[in-house]
Structure 1
């Protein structure tokens, strides 16, 4: 195991301080890694020096491309969060290709008391994919994917039946997994809705995708993980080998227990068809909007809270409701039949109007759902990396484009228990949704609550470290605000602080209306408030104490420290000093 737990006041070493590795020591690490150690510089330095220059203009254009960001170890998908954090590169990055590279980085960081950071997809809203003055383990190059017809976790022979599965390198994005497993392999794998999210980070946070109401969470589908722990040892974690560590990796939060280098996840039989339902309803008055909210909740409880349906319905300022749902396991005609009574009811009310642009109800072959076919590109259903020579598979949903290069202003989430859909409570929920939308937009992500999922999906999720509130929630409510690409110190391109703070206040007020209905609100760690109070129990509920025990066992020195990660309360906000 790692070195003994440090005493209060012990600090990590910063660049230029006494104890920072010498050039010769850095060169020794570089040699050990076969040259795969790079000293990082901020891409924004040129912008600060010449904000009106072409190089700066090019950078602002490029950060709207999630693959450009993913390919640069000095960048993160979000550029920061006003009053919380700003994306800034590590001092050095290890371009890991295997677990031995990761172990070398871990050992070097531990021996020299360095701040250590891990970046896969770089999608952390909490800013955990970057830390100035740190050593970065960049898993971008670890993208091997292997499909198994009969996988048995190590040490489980005779105890666990073989199952179809996929092993994914920690640097793979979910778009790579979908291409290998679904488009080419004809199987389903439970990943994230956003295609450019990293596979390892999603599993460690719990992991919801568009069809989680049917197939469960990503962590619930984890069969085995390869992980480098704080002592530099590469371990296998599964239900039979290091089961305590395995449980913690299933939703206990990325970057807290070790560096995951490979995951193996269960795959499922692929449905024939996936589809989507998109339309907008506008109400003429607050009273009509309240009636619409009540109608929608009635319809959801009766017809949609089942494994066929996922994604979201948004309640927005201005008395607007936007439906952005997906379905699986049914044909388009069946989906139309489900929605027709609701649409007919709206049509009978003169103070409600429906806008079907650009889509209404569509379906496609499930095997082609994530593939960049010509038709989907031509119709704008899917976008691709426009850089010259970019791989054909570098695609993403147009709706996710705004996440690339964004500056967050505010973010909050709350699981809504299915009990709120009981007839006696439904009116209060409708009132809360209308009150929330008067403050700021709120989305009900139905696929991020497991009420209505099959018993086996719920059972698998119960055996993870996620907050148990997700198990009986019918949705995760999310309210968020963000601004366009901006960076502090770049004249003419700086974040609008006043607007950000005003919007952050409205997000808090919006979510506050819903939290009045939930005595002990839980929040999804990957989509949560940077300033979440009592984050330990908001993120993990009754599991936190067990997670902390696993953390103490495998990382007693606190080498892996991230904002609001397990055990981080023992460290300063920047992760450099152990508190008193």
Structure 2
């Protein structure tokens, strides 16, 4: 059975019946690469001017990209970073720039899988795993495409696109399947295609608060929650993995399972921190939600200059321990602080933030304090206006900064030295204040790095390069990032990182992202449910050094 026609980026769509039919027609001995060539022959096509114009007009729109199976938020997921000619990109600074597409420009597949299956039911996923099992083809899983580590794309893979899984429901007496009836929760259940903007609005409609990410198009059920899932409300209400009550998942053995505290507990533990794309295809998640939470917001901005940089961050470093104990969460940049607090009154908030307010007022900055009856109006005003750009290369490189570093003068001095080192290398520190410092965590109840439970900040710098950069330019950017990553690792020995936003080039990634003990348990669970490795992604549980040679990050391996 032939696939349907190509979409603007060269992906071919299959339906579940076609997947199984193709599987039965091909020899078990054939390589997956040769099979894909039957579906994805190189051709020369006449451009569709209307389609091209639509892509150019929306190239840097997160919402537009979120609704395509073949578009990711960051270009490293689409290009093969190690091979600059293996990509099909526009100039993100000017999508109409003809240099990217005229005069014989080559448009190659890069990291984008050649075919995709639009998932609408468990049966679709079961068929995909049957196909993968009999052909040896690896599977990638994608919803909206928020992915710094290239885990949701991949060369010659079958892509499972989850965006059509749009179910949303609220239950004020939710009981996880198989659990005692007395264990009721206010819960929202979301399909794997539901994004944060939908969950926030839906929760508000039911007078509830969903504790979620700081971006409209991050998926509720994918890598965000499966790897940890931080929020500006995490200091008080915990991480996403602390709040998820149940997963519905198809594991690679083709079984549709329910994982919660009362059944498939090993899988439930693994899915709460083990990372997306590793243990199965999650079809829906149920999350504990809170009643409407009144908030105080502090929005403070200053001119970002050479003279304000150091004193501004000294105020941040010297006050963040106190602020964390008062319930503040948010984001800090060289020119701003946007924090929320569900515990303080407006007057208490102003008193708390007095050092930052005084500095801003003395340096021609602006200060705004506001009260909101719930999270959603704050989200509408501030989150969309401060989301990171898309359609470019953005490689993260953060580390979790423990509270202990803020407790001594020596620790604070070392932290300032690192922040200044970021600045000296021409990068900009970005600080999510999202450590769950006030949340009452049950030890070992989740599988993410234990460093989360000591963290106050997430801090680091990223790397980027132009759409048409050379390999040497890319390697130089990575070398610069690795230098900064090394410095922050020295600053936090034995610490960890949030895997979703850590450097892809982290050397001790198993230890940094999970801890040795957690990783050993996760690997055993991975091998139990996926013994043939049908799900394999970059530095996911089960990834090995041998896989490095097949990665589009291979050219940077020596710099790790």
Alignment TM-score > 0.5, same fold: yes
The 3 A distance-change label for structure 1 pair 368 and 189 is closer
The 3 A distance-change label for structure 1 pair 147 and 307 is farther
Work out whether 1:168 is the aligned partner of 2:190.
Answer: yes
Report if aligned partners of 2:485, 2:503 keep a CA contact under 8 Å in 1.
no
- The one of 479, 499, 508 equivalent to 1:525 is 499
> 3-state DSSP class of the match of 1:336?
helix
Work out whether 1:209 is the aligned partner of 2:231.
Answer: yes
The 3 A distance-change label for structure 1 pair 466 and 29 is same
Shift in Å at residue 522 of structure 1? 1.4
Shift in Å at residue 129 of structure 1? 1.5
Report if aligned partners of 2:119, 2:161 keep a CA contact under 8 Å in 1.
yes
Who is 2:341 aligned against? 327
Shift in Å at residue 301 of structure 1? 2.1
Q: Whole-Å Cα distance in 2 between the matches of residues 278 and 346 of structure 1?
A: 7
Work out whether 1:193 is the aligned partner of 2:176.
Answer: no
- The one of 481, 484, 489 equivalent to 2:463 is 481
Work out whether 1:446 is the aligned partner of 2:433.
Answer: yes
Q: Whole-Å Cα distance in 2 between the matches of residues 271 and 25 of structure 1?
A: 43
Report if aligned partners of 2:298, 2:337 keep a CA contact under 8 Å in 1.
no
Who is 2:29 aligned against? none
Deviation sequence 1:546-574 (CA, Å, 0-9, x none):
10011111111111101000001176247
Who is 1:10 aligned against? none
Q: Whole-Å Cα distance in 1 between the matches of residues 162 and 326 of structure 2?
A: 34
> 3-state DSSP class of the match of 2:333?
strand
Q: Whole-Å Cα distance in 1 between the matches of residues 116 and 514 of structure 2?
A: 31
Work out whether 1:27 is the aligned partner of 2:18.
Answer: yes
Deviation sequence 1:126-152 (CA, Å, 0-9, x none):
111112322111111101011111111
Work out whether 1:64 is the aligned partner of 2:60.
Answer: yes
The 3 A distance-change label for structure 1 pair 291 and 141 is closer
- The one of 274, 277, 283 equivalent to 1:261 is 283
The alignment's TM-score, normalised by the length of structure 1, stands at: 0.77
Report if aligned partners of 2:16, 2:124 keep a CA contact under 8 Å in 1.
no
The 3 A distance-change label for structure 1 pair 574 and 249 is farther
Report if aligned partners of 1:416, 1:476 keep a CA contact under 8 Å in 2.
yes
Shift in Å at residue 355 of structure 1? 2.2
The 3 A distance-change label for structure 1 pair 547 and 198 is same
Work out whether 1:417 is the aligned partner of 2:425.
Answer: no
> 3-state DSSP class of the match of 1:344?
helix
Who is 2:261 aligned against? 239
Shift in Å at residue 430 of structure 1? 2.2
Report if aligned partners of 1:276, 1:361 keep a CA contact under 8 Å in 2.
yes
Report if aligned partners of 1:65, 1:401 keep a CA contact under 8 Å in 2.
no
Deviation sequence 1:131-186 (CA, Å, 0-9, x none):
2322111111101011111111111125x6211111110111111111111x2111
Deviation sequence 1:503-559 (CA, Å, 0-9, x none):
433333334333322112412110011221121111111310010011111111111
Work out whether 1:111 is the aligned partner of 2:134.
Answer: yes
Work out whether 1:540 is the aligned partner of 2:511.
Answer: no
The 3 A distance-change label for structure 1 pair 421 and 570 is closer
Work out whether 1:467 is the aligned partner of 2:486.
Answer: no
Report if aligned partners of 1:562, 1:575 keep a CA contact under 8 Å in 2.
no
Work out whether 1:300 is the aligned partner of 2:298.
Answer: no
- The one of 160, 180, 197 equivalent to 1:157 is 180
- The one of 117, 129, 137 equivalent to 2:152 is 129
> 3-state DSSP class of the match of 1:526?
helix
Work out whether 1:406 is the aligned partner of 2:392.
Answer: yes
1:354-393 correspondence to structure 2 within 5 Å:
354-356=364-366, 360-366=368-374, 368-369=376-377, 376=381, 381=382
Q: Whole-Å Cα distance in 1 between the matches of residues 318 and 371 of structure 2?
A: 25
Shift in Å at residue 474 of structure 1? 1.2
Report if aligned partners of 1:90, 1:130 keep a CA contact under 8 Å in 2.
yes
Shift in Å at residue 311 of structure 1? 1.9
Shift in Å at residue 283 of structure 1? 6.0
Who is 1:437 aligned against? 423
The 3 A distance-change label for structure 1 pair 527 and 45 is farther
Unaligned runs of 5+ in 1: 1-22, 33-37, 316-320, 383-396, 487-493
Q: Whole-Å Cα distance in 2 between the matches of residues 436 and 27 of structure 1?
A: 51
> 3-state DSSP class of the match of 1:153?
coil
Shift in Å at residue 89 of structure 1? 2.9
Who is 1:392 aligned against? none
Q: Whole-Å Cα distance in 1 between the matches of residues 140 and 166 of structure 2?
A: 19
Higher percent of residues as strand: 1
> 3-state DSSP class of the match of 2:463?
strand
The 3 A distance-change label for structure 1 pair 49 and 573 is farther
Work out whether 1:550 is the aligned partner of 2:550.
Answer: no
> 3-state DSSP class of the match of 2:214?
coil
Deviation sequence 1:51-74 (CA, Å, 0-9, x none):
9x7754542332211122122112
In the alignment of these two chains, the number of paired residues is 494
CA RMSD, Structure 1 to Structure 2 (Å): 3.3
Q: Whole-Å Cα distance in 1 between the matches of residues 537 and 137 of structure 2?
A: 14
Report if aligned partners of 1:115, 1:575 keep a CA contact under 8 Å in 2.
no
Unaligned runs of 5+ in 2: 1-13, 24-35, 88-109, 552-560
